[in-house]
Copies of this chain bind each other. A is one copy, B any other.
Amino acid sequence: MESWNIPQAVSLREVGPRDGLQAEPTVIDTADKIALVNRLSAAGLPRIEVTSFVSPQWLPQMADAEQVMAGIARRPGTRYSVLVPNLVGAERALVTRPDEMTLFVSASETHNQKNVHRTIRESLEGFHQIIEKVGTQVSISAVIVTAFGCPYEGVVTPAQVIALMDRLEALGIQEITLGDTVGVANPRQVFAIVQQVSHQRPAIQLGLHFHDNRGTALANLVAALQAGATRFETALGGLGGSPFSPGAGGNLATDDAVYLLQEMGVDTGVDLPALLETTQFLVEKLGHAVPSRVFASGGRMVPQGGDPHGH
Contacts and interface: CB of A to CB of B under 8 A. Distances in A.
A189 B219 contact: no
Given A4-B191, A188-B264, A192-B4, A308 B214 contact: no
Interface in A200-241: 212-216, 218-219, 221-223, 226-227
Given A5-B1, A263-B186, A293 B153 contact: no
A163 to B, nearest CB: 16
Given A1-B5, A215-B256, A227-B1, A151 B308 contact: yes
A188 B217 CA distance: 17
Given A155-B309, A214-B256, A216-B218, A247 B297 contact: yes
Report the interface size class on chain A.
35 or more
B184 A301 contact: yes
Given A1-B1, A222-B219, A301-B247, A308 B260 contact: no
Interface string A133-151: 0000000000000001111
A195 B1 CA distance: 10
Interface in A166-205: 182-184, 186-189, 191-192, 195
Interface string A107-145: 000100000000000000000000000000000000000
A41 to B, nearest CB: 25
B157 A310 contact: yes
B218 A215 contact: yes
Given A2-B195, A149-B301, 6 more contacts: A4-B191, A149-B308, A150-B306, A152-B305, A214-B259, A216-B293
18 contacts: A6-B188, A149-B301, A150-B308, A151-B303, A151-B308, A152-B303, A153-B306, A155-B309, A188-B263, A188-B265, A212-B293, A215-B215, A215-B253, A218-B218, A219-B219, A219-B260, A222-B223, A249-B293
